Amino acid sequence: MRRIVFVLAPLCLVFGLLALPSSTMARSLPEFTQLVDKYGPSVVNISTKQSRHSPRVFHGFSVPDLPQDSPLYDFFRRFFGEEGPTPHEDDEQSRSLGSGFLISSDGYLLTNSHVVESADEIIVRTSDRREFLARLVGSDQRSDIALLKVEAQNLAPVKLGSAKDLKVGEWVLAIGSPFGFEHSATAGIVSAKGRSLPSENYVPFIQTDVAINPGNSGGPLFNLDGEVVGVNSQIYSRTGGFMGLSFAIPIDMAMDVVEQLKATGRVSRGWLGVKIQQVSRELAESFGMDQPKGALIAQVLADSPAQAADLREGDVILRFEGKEISTHSALPPLVGASRVNEPAKLEVLRSGRIIDVTVVIGELPDEDELIAAVEPERATANSIGLVVGDLDMEQRDQLALEHGGVIVQEVNPGAAERAGIGPGDVILMFDNKPVENAKQFRELLEGVEPGRSIATLIQRGDERMFFAVRIPAE
């Protein structure tokens, strides 16, 4: 009898649950119908036209004719709303499809920068089938935000919220035009916050599992209160379709970009002028840290705010303006959001001691200038026949140098070769002046009077020695 009762009791429980009204079973699930009804009309479809005169471009990179099953073809590429590569004549018009949303009743709307990149014409279509030609007010590739304006009044804008209050596990909703299917709604949860992607150092992405596909790009991400908390921007995919990883730009950052674009037509970001890396468990142990955290400075760029504040390679930034740097990827968004020419306080671990450093934040240079600044300076052979470059952190560790010095990369026939300087030598002093970096060495060399013999301090392995280099006469 006990055995029968034991079997029947769970069966009765199951049948009892099945008998419950469906509304009771679904009570814990979110309800999106009212949100879609109210704010769906605020979401627009965006298409563009542009002349084809060059290979297809994805977010600033020219894509060659790769096989479609190549991982390079799909890895983090900005393809939302864009048709796959197809043969076109040079004078043919191409159309890309994306999403956007109204942020004001007088026609301002947001989308992604890559949706409207290189467009000759931008067409905005609302849910009631009206079409408008949009004007590009401004765009910012680093945040992938573009601000558009259509000439219309009494439009229905979204309600803006804040991504700061989002919690992992919270329900969110996306509305957009995947594959051109307008005003499609998909839902999921927040999977993570503050995600840093390889090509996006200044955006702390919201990661979700909301189904996002080509055409959703630039559309809004809503919370359950009907507030926009993000702008859908990217997915991770090996196939070109949704794989459970989608990323949205926090609306707080997007609106900061909007205000700057409205005011000046460009976006200004803070800049330290350092290359950083993650602190591994092994590195943390070598630095005497209890656990790996912070941002390790691998390179201090010349003429940067970091150099002016005497930040050094090997410093570990633990806090920025009181905010803990748990991983190195947490630092760039904080620096980027800082006001230019304003001081910022850093907590730094240096040689086992925690010190406070104040840095006057600079302005992030243009992309071309930044690439030139980040790459170690490598000049053609100078007037004494040397090609020199800046030392990296590993080279400094090997030579036990904290800062300064340039490494001789090549020696061509000339005064330096005759003096005995060879490849791999490190120049520490020139004309009784410390050599800080390749740029400063070039300036020292240019300032020397032709025909003089200059004392040059070299480190070769563990040995240091002076060489007399005679500057050639002009």
Secondary-structure percent of the chain, ordered helix, strand, coil, rounded to 5: 25, 35, 40
Structure-block tokens of residue 137: 């007010």
222, 173 contact by CB (below 8 A)? yes
Count of CB atoms situated within 10 Å of the CB of 145: 26
Q: Are β-strands 57-58 and 61-62 bridged in parallel, bridged antiparallel, or unpaired? A: antiparallel
Q: Are β-strands 159-160 and 227-235 bridged in parallel, bridged antiparallel, or unpaired? A: parallel
Give backbone dihedrals phi and psi of 132, rounded to 5 degrees, phi first: -135, 145
Residue 423 exposure: Cα atoms within 13 Å on the Cβ side: 6
Ramachandran quadrant class, 180 (left: phi over 0; alpha: psi -120 to 50; beta: rest): left
- 315 flagged as catalytic: no
- The C-alpha atoms of residue 144 and residue 276 are separated, in whole angstroms, by 23
- 114 flagged as catalytic: yes
45, 177 contact by CB (below 8 A)? yes
Residue of 47, 114, 329, 338 with catalytic role: 114
Residue of 144, 315, 390, 425 with catalytic role: 144
CA dist 1 to 6, 7, 115, 371, Å? 8, 10, 70, 80
Residue of 184, 217, 237, 329 with catalytic role: 217
Terminal-to-terminal C-alpha distance of the chain? 112
Could you tell me which of 333, 277, 323 has the C-alpha nearest to residue 143?
Answer: 333
279, 287 contact by CB (below 8 A)? yes
Residue located via tokens 């803070």: 270
Could you tell me which of 107, 121, 112 has the C-alpha nearest to residue 47?
Answer: 121
Helix (H, G, I), strand (E, B) or coil at 83: coil
The continuous run of DSSP H or E covering 473 comes out as none
Beta-bridged to residue 57, according to DSSP, are 62
Give backbone dihedrals phi and psi of 71, rounded to 5 degrees, phi first: -65, -25
In order, the DSSP letters of 11-43 are: HHHHHHHHHS-HHHHTTTS---HHHHHHHGGGE
- 144 flagged as catalytic: yes
- The C-alpha atoms of residue 244 and residue 250 are separated, in whole angstroms, by 19
In order, the DSSP letters of 252-319 are: HHHHHHHHHHHHHSS---EE--EEEEE--HHHHHHTT-SS--SEEEEEE-TTSHHHHTT--TT-EEEE
74, 214 contact by CB (below 8 A)? no
Residue located via tokens 């030139």: 372
252, 120 contact by CB (below 8 A)? no
Could you tell me which of 366, 361, 368 has the C-alpha nearest to residue 304?
Answer: 361
Residues annotated as catalytic (active site), given as ranges? 114, 144, 217
